[in-house]
Amino acid sequence: MDLGLSDSIAVVTGGTSGIGLATARLLLGEGARVAICGRDPVKLASAREQLNTVKPGAVLAEPCDVLDSTAMAGFAAKVADWGGGHVDLLVNNAGQGRVSTFANTTDAQWREELELKFFSQILPIRAFQPLLTAARSPAIVAVNSLLSLQPEPHMVATSAARAGVQNLLKSLATELAPRIRVNSILLGLVDSNQWQRRFDARADKNQTREQWFTALAHDKEIPLQRLGVPDEPARAIIFLGSPAASYITGASLEISGGVSRFI
C-alpha cells in the first residue's frame, strides 16, 4: 500500500536512537525527507551517517533540546528553509521513564518529570504548528506510554504525567481539527537503550541477553512473550502520520504485545 509520503517533509524529535531513529529510517524508505534533532552531538552525527546511507541528501540533523523554546524555534526555522516552508508530519518522540514510587519521588523530581513529558509535546507543536498548517495534509503523532491508561506503582510520576499528556493530545485533536490530525501510540515494553542499561546491570552476569529479555517478558506477562523492537512502533507511527490514515484523529494505538488489561 502506498502511504502517500513520497516527497513529504517529516520532523522526528529524539531521532538519534531507538524508535526515533527507526521512524526516520522508515520514513526515508517511504520517500520522505526527514529532519531529526537530539542533544548529543556524537549520537546526532552517527544517526545522520546511518540515515544518509538510506537516502543520501534527504536528512537534516540538528542539535536541539525539546525543552528549550528558543532552540525549538531555531530548529523550526532551519527546517522551514530546508524543507520549503512546510512540514507534513511531526513525530514527538523525546523522553523516557522514571522509576520511583510516591514515597521516594521528591518535589523536584515531580516537577522535572511533568515538565519533560508535557513540554516535550507542547514546545515542538508550538514551534512547528505554522509549518504544519502550511502543508496539504499535516499530522502530528506523539509517542506515549501504556502507563497513561495502566499506571504502575513503581513509576508513579511517569504514569501520572503520561496520563496528562494523553488528555492534552485528545484536546489538541479537537482544537487543531480539521486542519491538523493528532494521534498517538501507547508503548508497552520495547527494546531500547534503557533496557540495555538494565541488562548490563543484571545481577547474574552469566545470563545471556536473550535469556534476560525472555525472563523479563515472562515476568511482565506479555502475551507475545517478547519485547517489541523499534521498527514495530515506528511502522505504526508512519501509518498514523500518513495520508493513508486521513480519517483518523484523536486516536491512540497500543503497541504492547497484548500486555494491557483494559478494554
Residue written as cell 517489541? 228
Can you tell me whether residue 229 is helix, strand or coil? coil
CA-to-CA distance for 198 and 218, rounded, in angstroms? Answer: 16
Which pLDDT score, from 0 to 100, does residue 197 have?
85
Nearest residue to 98 (alpha-carbon basis) of 83, 85, 117: 117
Sorted by where each begins, the domain ranges of the chain are 9-188+229-254, 191-227
State the chain's maximal CA–CA distance in angstroms.
55
Which pLDDT score, from 0 to 100, does residue 254 have?
97
Which pLDDT score, from 0 to 100, does residue 163 have?
97
CA-to-CA distance for 3 and 244, rounded, in angstroms? Answer: 5
Sign of CA dihedral 216, 220, 223, 224: negative
Which pLDDT score, from 0 to 100, does residue 5 have?
98
CA-to-CA distance for 250 and 171, rounded, in angstroms? Answer: 8
DSSP-assigned letters across all residues of 159-209: HHHHHHHHHHHHHHHHHSTTTSEEEEEEE--B--HHHHHHHHT-S-TTS-H
Which pLDDT score, from 0 to 100, does residue 253 have?
97
> Mean pLDDT of residues grouped by 10 in the chain (263 residues)?
96 96 98 97 96 97 97 98 98 87 96 96 98 98 96 94 98 98 96 84 89 92 96 98 98 96 83
Q: pTM for the whole thing?
A: 0.95
What is the C-alpha end-to-end distance of the chain, expressed in Å? 30
CA-to-CA distance for 182 and 177, rounded, in angstroms? Answer: 8
Sign of CA dihedral 1, 4, 230, 168: negative
Which pLDDT score, from 0 to 100, does residue 202 have?
86
Nearest residue to 5 (alpha-carbon basis) of 20, 19, 22, 24: 24
CA-to-CA distance for 42 and 247, rounded, in angstroms? Answer: 39
Which pLDDT score, from 0 to 100, does residue 97 have?
84
Task: Say if CB 85 and CB 59 are below 8 A apart.
Answer: no
Q: Using CB atoms within 10 A of its CB, is residue 102 exposed (0-12), middle (13-18) or buried (19+)? A: exposed
Q: Estimate the share of the chain in helix, then strand, then coil, as percent rounded to the nearest 5.
A: 45, 15, 40
DSSP assigned state of 103:
T
Nearest residue to 37 (alpha-carbon basis) of 6, 78, 7: 78
Phi-psi region of 95 (alpha: psi -120 to 50; beta: other; left: phi over 0): left
CATH architecture of 9-188+229-254: 3-Layer(aba) Sandwich (3.40)
